[in-house]
Amino acid sequence: MKREDIQQSKFLSLILRHRPERVGIQLEAGGWVEVDRLLTACRQHGMPIDRATLERLVKTNDKQRFAFNEDGSKIRANQGHSLSVNLGLKPVQPPLWLYHGTARQFLPSIEKQGLLKRNRHHVHLSGDPQTAIRVGKRHGRPVVLKVGAKEMAADGYTFYRSDNGVWLTKAVPPRYLEGL
Ligand code: HQG
């Protein structure tokens, strides 16, 4: 991805997940925004993005963070919101294990409290350890925890998977974590 694309992509994440008011818009139900409104608002706030660039950003995004609706008139972030957004995700049965990448310095606290969602709506889990390492590296020396997802589901915890393959659940108590 080009450096400018990364910058614009981060800006889009900010607007579509956290601070739409930065460009004077609000998210509609489900986190959607009309593409025309978004592009106009971005231009008016000194961050011009044209339609072709937006399409490229959506298509080439390394984590498929954004999606258009069926007719391409609206766009939203697939996950990662701090704003209250109902993505309309359906509960799904998780695999035996899921993985959580974090940084070593968080382990003592995770050991006590389990995984908490912090600023996000859910705890984010990965389907494979490689992805989890990448997520953990963002915070420091990475470490991967194994989450007994199937057991959690059997105990009544609900799991969702976003359109870009991130596993989501409300919290993970310490007893379901391995590798602590
Ligand atoms: C940690 C990126 C201490 C948690 C990635 C994590 C992901 C605790 C940090 C997505 C804790 C929160 C999410 C506890 C959790 N004590 N630390 N009890 N419970 N933590 O960024 O999972 O680029 O909010 O381990 O690819 O790192 O945004 O969550 O280290 O999918 O699309 O608190 O963000 O995707 O950090 O990453 P984050 P995350 P995007």
**What is the number of structural domains in the chain?**
2
Chain segment 19-49, per-residue pLDDT in tens: 999 999 999 999 999 999 999 999 999 999 9
Domain-located, residue 171? yes
Q: What is the mean pLDDT of residues 109-138?
A: 96
CA distance 121 to 127: 19
**Angstrom distance (rounded) from CA 25 to CA 42:** 10
Domain that holds residue 155: 97-178
Per-residue pLDDT of 71-109, as tens digits, reads 999 999 999 999 999 999 999 999 999 999 999 999 999
Is 70 found in the same domain as 28?
yes
Residues 66 and 32: their CA atoms lie apart, in Å, by 10
CATH code for the domain in which residue 105 is found: 3.20.170.30
**Which H or E run includes 100?**
strand 97-103
CATH number for the domain that contains residue 45: 1.10.10.970
38-55 b/e with 16+ CB inside 10 Å = b?
bbebbeeeebebeeeebe
Rounded distance from Cα 56 to ligand 1 centre (Å)? 27
Contact 113 CB / ligand 1 (< 6 Å):
yes
pLDDT of 1: 78
Provide ipTM, 2 decimals: 0.96
Residue nearest ligand 1's atom 40 by CA: 80
Q: Enter the pTM of the model.
A: 0.88
Residue 58: how many other CB atoms lie within 10 Å: 17
Atom of ligand 1 nearest to the CA of 79: 32
Q: How far is the CA of 104 from the centre of ligand 1 (A)?
A: 13
Q: Within a domain: residue 53?
A: yes
Mutate to test the pocket of ligand 1, among 98, 102, 105, 144 (most ligand atoms within 8 A of CB): 102
Atom number of ligand 1 nearest to Cα 112: 18
User: Is the shortest distance between the CB of 110 and ligand 1 below 6 Å?
Assistant: yes
CA–centroid distance, 8 to ligand 1, in Å, is 22
Mean pLDDT of all residues in 168-172: 97
Measured in Å, residue 73 CA sits from the centre of ligand 1 at: 31
Instruction: Please give the pLDDT value at position 2.
Output: 82
Q: So what's the pLDDT on residue 180?
A: 72
Same domain, 66 and 129: no
In a domain? residue 153: yes
Q: Is the CB of 144 under 6 A from ligand 1?
A: no
Is residue 101 domain-shared with residue 164, that is, in the same domain? yes
Q: Are residues 102 and 70 in the same domain?
A: no
